[in-house]
Amino acid sequence: MIKCLISWSSGKDSAWLVHVLRKRADVQIGALLTTVNESARRVAMHAVRVELLQAQADALGLPLCQIPIPSPCTNEEYERAMQVAVQRAVADGFTHIAFGDLFLQDIRRYREERLAGSGLTPLFPLFDADTARLAREMIGGGLRARVTCVDPRVLDRRFAGREFDAALLAELPPGVDPCAERGEFHTFAYDGPMFAHPIPVELGAIVERDGFVFADLMPA
């Protein structure tokens, strides 16, 4: 039996990763691992409030391990924080960590290189998926998510705060990946077969900061 951590971003791919792994008889999911901006108390990049992050963990029935990182955060600071988290996980008996990466080979290679010899083996259960098909599978399978962050260089700011649904997929411009694997947008998953119950959220302000457009989701 594999004792596995989930690299948890709070988004749709992480949620679907849990759903997929729970179907495997050889995997025991033990906890979620998330980097959190220590000053803003929000998930890094997704800007999701820690209250909603904890609500996700509660609805999944899993412990939440938060890794505080500064903002801005250098790569060296990030790697030091992750190294401490990995050492702690190995000491707690974890053998694997699963990532929701879909097709970016450089990201996968970076994770494999950083984890080599650490005692944690990386898993990539969704890798090489057809992302157009995967997006439709997620939506058809009952996953519900909101767009929390948009890169306005590739996607109009009006997508911030919207539901991740068939209508959104139909409106994505050419070149934008349906699962946003290149960072075109980020999401917050609030319902689906992986959760014991929906997480009530409401949309707050839409703000532009550091070159990105964020939708501030709040507990309803």
Give how far Cα 197 sits from Cα of 67, 95, 149, 203, Å. Answer: 26, 29, 24, 19
Query: Are 172 and 150 spatial neighbours (Cβ–Cβ below 8 Å)?
Result: no
Burial 20-41 (b: 16+ CB within 10 A, else e): bbeeeeebebbbbbbbbbbeee
pLDDT tens figures, 6-22: 999 999 999 999 999 99
Which of 1, 59, 68 shows the shortest CA–CA distance to 33?
A: 68
Phi, psi of 20 (to 5 degrees): -65, -45
This prediction's pTM: 0.95
Please name the residues in contact with 50: beta carbons below 8 A apart, sequence gap of 6 or more. 36, 41, 42, 43, 66
Length of the chain measured in residues: 220
In 168-183, which positions are buried (b, 16+ CB within 10 angstroms) versus exposed (e)?
beeebeeebbbbbbee
pLDDT digits (tens, 9 = 90+) for 55-112: 999 999 999 999 999 888 899 999 999 999 999 999 999 999 999 999 999 999 999 9
Checking if the pLDDT of 45 tops 80, the result is no
Going along the chain from its start, the domains and CATH numbers come out as 2-123 (3.40.50.620), 131-219 (no CATH)
Q: What pLDDT is recorded for position 72?
A: 82
- For residue 121, give the 3-state DSSP assignment: strand
Question: Cα 68 from chain centroid?
Answer: 16
